[in-house]
Each structure stands twice: as C-alpha cells, then as structure tokens.
Structure 1
C-alpha cells in the first residue's frame, strides 16, 4: 500500500497523470478506503478502546474503593483480570487482533498488580525495580504476540528502568558515574533495539511497518545528541567518548538508511541532530563566552535558517535520487 501510494504521488508530481484523472487513478490503485474498510477500522478501534478501558477500569476501581476493600480482595480482582485477559488471548488464537488486545491489556494489568503489591506491603523498592520486573514478567507475552505496539511498550518500560537505575546508582564505570549516565544507558539500549529491529524486519521475522523503527531511532538519536550538547555546555570541555560515538552514529545512520534500507525520515533526523548541535555550539561561543552584542541572536537565527534550508535542499535532492 505504501509503495503504491509513493509511486502514484511520483507519477502525479511528474505530470504523468493529468490533474483531472487523479481521482480515477486513486480509485484504480485502491488507495481510497471502501465502506468495508471503514467498518473494519471502526470495529478494531472500538475493540482496542474497550480492551484498554477495561484494563484501566480495574486500576480506577481499586483506587476508588481502596478503603472499603480488604487486601485479599484487591489482589483477587487484579489477578482475576490478568487471568481473564490471558485466557482470552489463549482462546482467540485464530483472531489475531483480539489476541493482541488481550495481551496488551494483560501487560498493563501486570503493572497494576506490581504497583498494588508495592503500595500494600511498602517494600521500599526503587522505582526502577518496578519497571524492570514489569518488563521481565511480560517478556514472554510480548515475544508470543510479536506485535509492534506491544514491543514498543515493553521497550518503553525497559527505557524507564534503565534511565531510573542510572539516575539512582550512576554508571558501572567511572566515566559514566555522572548525570549523563542515564543518557548513556538509553543510547545503548535503544541503539541495540534498533539494530535487532531492523534485522528482524529485514529477515521477515515481524512486520514491515516503519513507525516502530523510526521511534527507536529517535530514542537513539536524542540521547547521543543531548550527550554532545551537555559536553559543549560544560565550562571546561574535556575529552569524552561521545566525540567519537556521535560521528560514528551519524555515519552509520547515513550508510544504513541511504544504501541498505532507504528511509528519508531517519536521514532527516540526523540533519536535525546536527543542526541542534551546531546551534548549541554557536550559542556557547557567541552568547556565553563572547561579548554580548545585539546582533548575536540575529547571526544565530541566520545560521539556523541557512542550515535548515541547506538540509531541506539536500534531502529533496536525495529523495529524487533514491525514491524516484
């Protein structure tokens, strides 16, 4: 569907299809949803909204009736909801959407159960342990479902666990035992997740949707960009491994998504990262260390506009060379 849409847009831009024939071309390509497509969409939307609403309803029910419910009843309600969701997932093997909704609801309910356990028994555990145990317990369901949304939810839990862990205890090495330790952890886990995700998509082990890979790329690009910006912001910049990792990350991003798996979104994200770092560097030397002048902000604005315009021109040329 995406390739057909891209090819049709390319033909329209090249004026191969006359403007008066665009509507007929869209209908012939099957890009306009039919009434049956709308019915399927609404059916799945209501199924997802209903499943998620029931999962959150358990949480709100326990919270609202906290004082009236005994300890065993609180746990019983949540555990019964988890068993019901898992039972529906096992029963609905042939109905993939229903199975995914049930497993997603079960994953959320496990988090409710862990939060309830910590609240009732006041274990005093660190917050990162909650998210780590949550991710660990739900990993089999995520693996069985092989559903992009559930994988992203699981990786989000792992990101929270790793980020909170490094913020609490620092890094395992002296170079990481600082305020940037959480960013290093997020960079590592999201980069590895992106590599495995692209490998799985390339080998056909799971869906070919690009939104999850792009989200992981953002999760990898934001930490490495912030690490370099943090180094630039230091009053006395010192040597850091990010000075090597950041260029390597850019080269890998361009090589992978220019030649191996063409994706303009990824390359555009790299351009945004470079512009952000360059702007931060200019701000350091023009605004913080240099003598303040009214024209400094004007020069910075011109520099940002120039870099943005150059990136757009280059990306448009790259798009024509690769996708047309």
Structure 2
C-alpha cells in the first residue's frame, strides 16, 4: 500500500498545482497511479478486520443487554473488564503501528464505553447521558492517540460531538436554535476539531486523514450556517452571522488557494448560496410577495447552476493535470 500512498501524495500535489502534468507522468513511472489486484485484496482484509471488531463490540453490548436480569452485577463487571483488559493486552503484544494493533485498540475503545455504561446502570450513578459520552471520550483519548487509526479518531470525534450536543440540549427548549451562544459554542468546538484534523492528525501518524477533515468541516458549517441564517432576521444572532462571514471567507481562501480541497470548497459554496439567499430575502422583505418569490427562485437556481459549472471546471482542470 506504500505505492498507493505515494500516488495519493502525487495526486494531491498535482491538485494543489505543485506538480505539472509532465512531472506527474515522470513520477508515475516509479509509482503507479492505479491500484493493483493485491492492493484491493489488502483493502478487503482491512475492511473485514475492522468490521469484525465492530461486530464483536456490538456482540458484547447486546450480550449484556439480553442477559441483564440473569447475571450478577459482579459477573457483568468482571466480563466487561476482562474484555477491556484482553483487548488492551492484545494491542500491547502486536507490533507497533500494525493493523492488528489498531484493530485491538479500537476494540478496547468500544469495550471501555460498554464498561462505563455498565457501571452507570449497575450503581445508578444518576449521571446524565452527556457525562457518559464525555467520560468515554476523555478515558479513551490516550488509546486513540496511540492507535493512529482513523476509525478510532472517528469514534472519538463522534463522542465529543454527542457529549456537547447532549449537554447543550439539556439546557435548551428547542435543540440549539433558542440561543446564539449555544450555536456559537457548538461552532467553536467543531472549528477546533477541524483544526486538529487538518494540522495535527498527519503529524500524529494518521495517514489519509482527509475524510476526517471533510466530516469536521461539515460539522462546522452546519451550526455556522444555521446561526448565520437566523442572524439575518434576529439581532441577537448577529455575532453568528459575522462569525460565519469571517470563518467561511478564511476557509474559502485556505481550501481554494493554499490547500486545494474541492469537496470542502463545494460545501462552502452551497452554504454561501443558502445564507445569501436568506440575506437577499431579508433585504427585499417589503417587496411584493410574487416578485420576491420568483426572484429568490431565480437566484438560487442560477447561483447553484453557476457553482456547479465552476466546480466541474475545477475538477476537470485537476483531472487534466493528473
């Protein structure tokens, strides 16, 4: 798979216009740009291994759920603790940065959450569900950093998102839409996750970290866009609107000029179309309803078509450079 990593790096450099088409063709002599049959076999083995880990983790959870009233609480804790210990020892015995080690650490991460939930159910600690997710994310942080696995980082990101969402949701009347501060806090945490995924994951040994960056960017743009849309109508959300304009502008420059990423740039474009459509409707609030409706429809259709054509042109240019 090393040849594919080199090929992926070459294609990224070409997409970022750091390599010309001629230079790419010269490099392709040594590093093939297309995967071989052996590469597909390695990928299938990886997928089946991590699928087996996920199914094993689900099996442990459902085992306790099905046999809950039939087992003594000490037996439950012993079995769950043994699963965590066994997966941890297996990870220690595996070679460093190997696929079995990453899979064993992922299993340990999942079993840790099952053990925490079991302790909470057994002793009725009274903790809210956000505390479970937050404790789970905090406890597995060292394991995630050691794993160098995208699957473990993905679970870690999801736990952080769920913990924050549940924490804010317990203090809101209508999800997060009743408070500008909550939307801003949610956006700030997702911004930190995006910065971590963009600048730290590669240095921590996570190869091909771009899918995590895409998910973090999507998680950031959702609350940012919602806050900006509400901010066009309500004064208390003006900070969210200003934050959206500043962050979306910086992200557009970064992902278009400095580090070309067409997927994130496409998300930014269509998010900008949604927010600008609402702004246009706000500016023409006193206009005739029929005129305003058709104008907004034409604007959305025209801007979406223009953005699509532009993105296709950028994609063709990158493919031509390859």
Please say whether Structure 1 and Structure 2 have the same fold, judged by a TM-score greater than 0.5.
yes
Deviation per residue, 1:153-182 (Å, 9 max, x gap): 112111111222223347xxxxx9953444
1:2 counterpart residue number = 8
Which TM-score applies when normalising by structure 2? 0.81
Q: Report SS of the residue matched to 1:314.
A: helix
Q: Aligned pair 1:301/2:265, yes or no?
A: no
Is the contact made by 2:197 and 2:209 (CA closer than 8 Å) also made in structure 1? no
Deviation per residue, 1:11-48 (Å, 9 max, x gap): xxxxx9xxxxxxxxx99974554442333233222211
Which TM-score applies when normalising by structure 1? 0.80
RCO comparison, higher one (Cα < 8 Å, 6+) = 2
Aligned-partner Cα distance in 1 for 2:202–2:36: 31
1:159 counterpart residue number = 161
1:131 counterpart residue number = 133
Aligned-partner Cα distance in 2 for 1:7–1:99: 31
Is the contact made by 2:228 and 2:240 (CA closer than 8 Å) also made in structure 1? yes
- Match of residue 147, structure 1, among 146, 149, 166: 149
- Shift of residue 94 of structure 1? 4.3
Which aligned pairs between 1:1-324 and structure 2 lie closer than 5 A? 1-2=7-8, 30-94=32-96, 96-169=98-171, 178-200=178-200, 205-232=205-232, 234=234, 237-238=235-236, 240-282=238-280, 292-293=289-290, 297-319=293-315, 324=321
Aligned-partner Cα distance in 2 for 1:184–1:271: 21
Aligned-partner Cα distance in 2 for 1:69–1:50: 26
Aligned-partner Cα distance in 1 for 2:123–2:106: 26
Is the contact made by 1:135 and 1:157 (CA closer than 8 Å) also made in structure 2? yes
- Shift of residue 80 of structure 1? 0.8
Aligned-partner Cα distance in 2 for 1:274–1:46: 40
Aligned-partner Cα distance in 2 for 1:224–1:141: 31
2:18 counterpart residue number = none
- Shift of residue 96 of structure 1? 1.3
Deviation per residue, 1:159-217 (Å, 9 max, x gap): 111222223347xxxxx995344432221112112223222357575424311111111
Aligned-partner Cα distance in 2 for 1:310–1:54: 48
Deviation per residue, 1:123-178 (Å, 9 max, x gap): 211221111100010000011112222112112111111222223347xxxxx995
Aligned-partner Cα distance in 1 for 2:111–2:84: 6
Structure 2: give runs of 5+ residues left out of the alignment.
Answer: 1-6, 16-21, 23-27
Q: Report SS of the residue matched to 2:232.
A: helix
Aligned-partner Cα distance in 1 for 2:249–2:147: 34
Structure 1: give runs of 5+ residues left out of the alignment.
Answer: 10-15, 17-25, 171-175
Q: Report SS of the residue matched to 2:70.
A: coil
Aligned-partner Cα distance in 1 for 2:102–2:286: 55
Q: Report SS of the residue matched to 1:124.
A: coil
Q: 1:305 to 1:165 in 2, by over 3 A?
A: same
